[in-house]
Chains A and B, each alone.
Chain A
Amino acid sequence: MMSTYNMVKQEFIKKWITTLHMLDCSVEHPLNVTERKNAIKLSSDIAMAAARSGSTVWSRALISRSGNKTANKPVARRILKKARNRLKNRCLTLRRNGNFTAKSGVRKRTELLKSLVPGGELIKNKDYLIRETLDYIVYLRAQVDVMRTVAAVDSVTGNLTNDNK
């Protein structure tokens, strides 16, 4: 189980490097802190979805959602176009149930879960939803672990430069 998880993290790192470069080339420098934060988050989300090779709803929904945010960036738009079109047709045929009321704890929480998993609102089958959720959680964890490691670079090198002063 652990080696699979490491493979997930490695795949995420590879894709993140690509998406970071991709966005870096397509934005106008210099960026302010907020713009940079959004670019980091966006590249990270796209990388997470791209690392998931296979046809999960959450990964395609995430790419579709991210595609809207990169509307002004032609490079990103081109790369995401294919994935977005794949999901577009599904969105047109599935609609929210307008009569939904939260009658029980399970129902209410299931709806909440659907709102948290990308594309979750499109999934009607409970079993399918659970499988998508578990898959999504693994990749979400990998994303957090890798970003945490990179962010920790600051504290490591910070100590080094302090010693040299």
Chain B
Amino acid sequence: MSNRRSRQSSRASRISDDQMIDLVGKLRQFLPEIRERRRSEKVSASKVLQETCNYIRNLHREVDNLSDRLSQLLDSVDEDSPEAAVIRSLLM
């Protein structure tokens, strides 16, 4: 993860600075940690990529958990209960 190692790797494997600045700018609203780095010029490509990966993984996990919750929710719902009525109106 050291900068020295990144510089020694071939040009082709590095994301350009312009691309990285562009990426950081767009991700700012989604990643609170990066928002604080606005003023610094050097943003580690490796760090941004790692945070992006973590963010996507977390979102995947949330979708999985929410699918779990929704399936349990529908399982425990009586046909005549108010929950069923609300869900039915949401989904119909």
Spell out A's residues near B (CB within 8 Å): 1, 17, 20, 33-34, 36-41, 44-45, 103-107, 109-110, 112-113, 116-117, 126-127, 130, 133-134, 136-137, 140-141, 143-144, 147-148, 150-151, 153-154, 156-158, 160-161
A151 touches which of B1, B57, B70, B91 (Cβ 8 Å) = B70
Closest chain A residue to B82, Cβ basis: A157
Contact A148 B56 (CB under 8 A): no
For the complex formed, measure the closest distance between the CB of A1 and the CB atoms of chain B, giving whole angstroms: 8
For the complex formed, measure the closest distance between the CB of A31 and the CB atoms of chain B, giving whole angstroms: 8
Interface SS, A side: helix
List, in ascending order, chain B residues with CB within 8 A of A157's CB: 81-83, 86
A-B contacts, 25 of them at CB < 8 A, read: A17-B91, A36-B74, A37-B70, A40-B70, A41-B64, A41-B67, A44-B63, A104-B6, A105-B50, A106-B9, A113-B49, A133-B23, A133-B56, A134-B23, A137-B27, A140-B59, A144-B62, A144-B63, A144-B66, A147-B67, A148-B66, A153-B83, A153-B90, A158-B83, A161-B82
Q: When chains A and B are docked, how far (Å) is the Cα of A148 from the Cα of B65?
A: 10
Contact B62 A105 (CB under 8 A): no
A106 touches which of B29, B30, B45, B87 (Cβ 8 Å) = B45
Closest chain B residue to A20, Cβ basis: B91
List, in ascending order, chain A residues with CB within 8 A of B86's CB: 153, 156-157
Contact B13 A107 (CB under 8 A): yes
The total of chain B residues at the interface (CB under 8 A) is 49
Q: Is B69 an interface residue (CB 8 A)?
A: yes
Spell out B's residues near A (CB within 8 Å): 1-2, 5-6, 8-9, 13-16, 19, 22-23, 26-27, 29-30, 45-46, 49-50, 52-53, 55-57, 59-60, 62-64, 66-75, 81-83, 86-87, 90-92
Q: When chains A and B are docked, how far (Å) is the Cα of A141 from the Cα of B66?
A: 13
Whether A107 touches B90, Cβ cut-off 8 Å, given contacts A130-B15, A133-B52, A144-B63, is no
